[in-house]
Copies of this chain bind each other. A is one copy, B any other.
């Protein structure tokens, strides 16, 4: 199993700027710790080797954006209501699903294995990673079914369906150097944004938010999810290794065209376009640095930043319409932070 720490996980620690925010911050820290506890408890097995493998998931742990949004959406919808048991269960469920997709994302296909020339690692590679991911998924549903809410289970399953569709659409467009922006947005909406949106939606649902507020919060989640993915894609292509802390060009290696390069290709003169195509076809990974330079030396980066910023602004506008509360302020901050990563 290729166990690199998941890149680009959002650092969404909020800076306490007021007692209310500080109080919220403490509460969230406590709730997230509880999510971590339940996450671990859900995965305990009476099969020793399974427990051993689960321990290896440490490297995938992030800042729990999705669980945090469950709680924030609940509090932003109804600031005076306490977090409920359902919120904790849902928060843990979405994190399990997210973790499962990270594990499955790490599956290497034959071409990559051959290119990398890796030996079978101690965790027995792909097959174990597949089963471990499946284990996480089935436990997500197992946990989710402890709620007395079939509609919620349906919403969560639907979100998982959508993630799969996004990943399959992305796979189908491997090595498609003519990938258009519309399809790219479709891909990231499904594979990343949908689950973030559902986290907000369900947080609001179990705070008894009215339908409009639920819809707004769901939208907020989807918008920042898309912005986050765009920022992540930019970092992969042109980021600073020291900052990002992972090897770059992973998307290029996988034949994944992302927004900066899509834009560059779409707006390039015939000669430049051909130049880029030649670089990509000849040695996508070896030429990654050169390709990144050509992208940086164009309006493609500005375009991408503006695109992401617009999504964040739309998200913030939705939150702005909510009644004032520390959670509302926090969600406003979170929206800014999803793209504030040396972007």
Contact = CB atoms under 8 A, between A and B. Distances in A.
Interface of A: 45, 47, 49-50, 53, 104, 107-111, 113-114, 118-120, 124-128, 130-135, 137-139, 141-142, 144-151, 153-154, 157-158, 160-161, 163-165, 167-169, 171-172, 174, 186, 190
B118 A167 contact: no
5 contacts: A49-B172, A110-B120, A138-B161, A139-B157, A142-B161
Contacts of A135: 161, 164-165, 168
Nearest to A111: B120
Contact of A138 (B50, B53, B149, B160): B160
B104 A131 contact: yes
Given A157-B138, A165-B135, A169-B47, A127 B150 contact: no
A187 to B, nearest CB: 10
Nearest to A172: B49
Contact of A165 (B45, B120, B190): B45
Contacts of A167: 131, 134
A142 B127 contact: no
Nearest to A135: B164
Contacts of A127: 107-109, 171
A47 B133 CA distance: 23
B150 A147 contact: yes
Given A118-B110, A125-B110, A167-B131, A154 B160 contact: no
A123 B164 CA distance: 16
Contact of A104 (B124, B130, B165): B130
Q: Which one of A104, A141, A186 has the greatest number of beta carbons of chain B within 10 Å?
A: A141
B130 A107 contact: yes
Contacts of A149: 150
Contacts of A161: 45, 135, 138-139, 142
Given A150-B150, A161-B138, A169 B124 contact: no
A50 B161 CA distance: 11
A19 to B, nearest CB: 41
**Most chain B C-beta atoms within 10 Å of own C-beta, residue among A113, A135, A145, A151:** A145
Nearest to A255: B124
Contact of A110 (B126, B144, B146, B158): B126
Contacts of A118: 110
A45 B124 CA distance: 33
Given A131-B168, A141-B141, A142-B154, 12 more contacts: A49-B168, A50-B168, A107-B126, A110-B126, A128-B171, A131-B171, A134-B134, A134-B137, A135-B164, A139-B161, A141-B157, A144-B157
Given A113-B113, A135-B165, A124 B154 contact: no
A119 B158 CA distance: 34
